[in-house]
Structure 1
Amino acid sequence: MSRENIATVIKIIESLPDAQQERVIEHLREYILDLEDELQWDKAFQKSQSKLVAAAKLAKQQISQGQGTPMDYDRL
């Protein structure tokens, strides 16, 4: 984001009454925390994706060879 855009957002927020400024700031904080959380999940998923693909291929191979067993969802 450019400095001009940030300055525009600040001016918009500053034009609001104090109570509304606080509400906007709190919403922005929550939104930014959510974005950061999503980025962390994306990074974690990218790191594990190759392992997930390998596990799926192994499971498919075991099933095709008759070695697969149904999952017991009650034990999870």
Structure 2
Amino acid sequence: MSSAAIATLLKMMESLPVDVQEQVAEHLREYIYDLQDENRWNESFQRTEQKLVAAAKRAKQEIAEGQATVMDYDQL
């Protein structure tokens, strides 16, 4: 985002009552935290995607060969 866009947002916020400014700031913080979290997830997934694909292929092969067993979730 350019500094002009940020300046525009600040001017818009400054025109609001202080309590509303606080609400907007809180919403923006939450939104930015969510975006950062999503970016971390995407980066993590990209680093491990090939391993996940390999594990899925291996599992599919084991199922086809009859080597897979049903997981008993009550035993975990």
Common topology (TM > 0.5): yes
Q: Which runs of 4+ in 1 moved over 6 A?
A: none
Over the aligned positions, Cα root-mean-square deviation in angstroms equals 1.2
Number of aligned residues: 76
Deviation digits for residues 20-43 of structure 1 (CA, Å, limit 9, x no counterpart)? 111111111111111111111111
Q: In structure 2, what is the equivalent of residue 14 of structure 1?
A: 14
Measure, in 2, the Cα distance between the counterparts of 1:59 and 1:49.
Answer: 15
Give the unaligned 5+ runs of structure 1.
none
Instruction: Among all aligned residue pairs of Structure 1 and Structure 2, give the percentage whose two residues are the same amino acid.
Output: 61
What TM-score comes out, normalization by structure 2 length? 0.88
Measure, in 2, the Cα distance between the counterparts of 1:46 and 1:32.
Answer: 21
Shift of the alpha carbon at 1:59? 1.0
Amino acid at match of 2:69: T
Measure, in 2, the Cα distance between the counterparts of 1:18 and 1:32.
Answer: 21
Measure, in 2, the Cα distance between the counterparts of 1:47 and 1:75.
Answer: 31
Measure, in 2, the Cα distance between the counterparts of 1:43 and 1:18.
Answer: 37
Shift of the alpha carbon at 1:63? 1.5
Give the unaligned 5+ runs of structure 2.
none
